[in-house]
Amino acid sequence: MKPRWQKPDDLSAGALKVWKNQAPGLVAAGRLTPETAENFKMLCRILSLAAAAAQAIEADGVTVQAGSGGKKSNPAAAVLFQAQRDAAKLLRDFGLT
């Protein structure tokens, strides 16, 4: 059985990319441990979600067509803002800010 802080099998491709980029340095710094692995997985998922939302905004714009025919705020903007808020504490906890 591999330690919980090693690369998990249950992350999306985007979250796994974050893990692969950040985990080695965090392990070396003693910040990614079995005790912090679940929070780091959460951070990886949040950052991946934020990246996907940002890509959707880039592709579709800040406003999108509403069902009524008018324009409305792109729902991806709310996802991006919430993901950024959620990531802020975790980023600080891991010394990534």
What is the predicted pLDDT for the residue at 70? 93
Buried (b) or exposed (e) across 43-63, using 16+ Cβ within 10 A? bbbbbbbbbbbbebbeeeeee
Q: What is the pLDDT of residues 12-21, one digit of tens each?
A: 999 999 999 9
pLDDT at 73 over 60: yes
Q: Please state the length of the chain.
A: 97
pTM of the full structure: 0.87
What is the predicted pLDDT for the residue at 33? 92
Confidence of residue 1 (pLDDT cuts 50, 70, 90): very low
Per the CB < 8 A criterion, the answer to whether 43 and 94 are in contact is yes
Burial of 93 (0-12, 13-18, 19+ CB in 10 A): middle
What is the predicted pLDDT for the residue at 7? 79
Q: What is the pLDDT of residues 19-50, one digit of tens each?
A: 999 999 999 999 999 999 999 999 999 999 99
Mean residue pLDDT of the chain comes to 93
Residue type, 9: D
